[in-house]
Structure 1
């Protein structure tokens, strides 16, 4: 059984934001524990065929990369964008041929890189990527709040998919810091 820690009750804003995001990130792997490859790629919603456990892990990895590398740091896109002009908006979720373990490892590595990227940045640091040129740059604080919302929202989707796939619900033990 995995034990996860909530951030300290009286920590500063940065520790709280990153701590809560890291907690949500840890639930992604937890929600996938014990899934077969077939179940990880199972399409359980006819109206949302890309909404699979594997697809959601890939989508969350892409969001980490997109927000922290492309947008915040302004790393040039040299072809790593999974869609092209006129392509599918959720092309990063087409992962039927990629093992869940690889997707989870890629996600964990991207989360680690995100944390390393922001380690020395103030919460008021703003995006250097494509939105900066448009005058629409978000702060790191905004990005952390958005990523917390994005990750938690898709964990809700994972909860539902997991219950539909094999009936498993809930989390393992959580302890207070």
Structure 2
């Protein structure tokens, strides 16, 4: 398991925002560590059958793509996303036949692409993929992605506990720089 670090206590705003997002992202892989394929795809919630570990990882991957590339950068969707006009609103979570390792690798790659895409952008940068009166700043998007990722890490935490009793976060250290 990888050791993860909280962002520095006195860092600038951008370092804090990206640091907290990266920390939450690291917990996704941590929550999946050592999980079997069967358990990663196990449907534990009768009223929410798409809420599986694998489904949440896939959802987080596409949320990254949607917020950072489609919305913020305004990259047009050329059919690469799982969503279609008449399709299921949670189509990204239909991953029963996709191995968890592949989903995690795709999520990690998407997170790296997101980080690369925003590296040179000021926090005041406004979404290009939204109408001007509904466009959010990069600062807003980062705050939202921290919230979104942390919420789903909580879901992963609950699912993992239900699957095999594993709880908590290990190897989390404070950064003092």
Specify if TM > 0.5: yes
**Where does structure 1 lack aligned partners over 5 or more consecutive residues?**
none
Tell whether 2:173 aligns with 1:175. Answer: yes
Residue 71 of structure 1 aligns with which residue?
A: 71
Match of 2:135 among 118, 134, 137: 137
Please give the per-residue CA displacement for 1:67-102, whole angstroms capped at 9, x wherever unaligned. 000000000110123122232110000000000000
**Where does structure 2 lack aligned partners over 5 or more consecutive residues?**
none
Tell whether 2:149 aligns with 1:151. Answer: yes
Please give the per-residue CA displacement for 1:90-142, whole angstroms capped at 9, x wherever unaligned. 0000000000000000000000000000000000000001x2x3521000000
Cα distance in 2 for residues equivalent to 1:81 and 1:112: 18
> After TM superposition, which residue ranges in structure 1, 4 or more long, deviate above 2 angstroms?
none
Residue 5 of structure 1 aligns with which residue?
A: 5
Residue 62 of structure 1 aligns with which residue?
A: 62
Residue 52 of structure 2 aligns with which residue?
A: 52
Q: Is the 8 A contact 1:2 1:172 kept in 2?
A: no
Judged with a 3 Å threshold, the aligned counterparts in structure 2 of structure 1 residues 134 and 125 are, in CA distance, closer, same or farther, namely closer
Residue 115 of structure 1 aligns with which residue?
A: 115
TM-score, length-normalised on structure 1? 0.97
Secondary structure of the corresponding residue to residue 159 of structure 2: helix
CA RMSD of aligned residues (A): 0.9
1:3 shift after superposition: 1.4
Cα distance in 1 for residues equivalent to 2:104 and 2:125: 29
User: How many positions carry a matched residue from both structures?
Assistant: 175
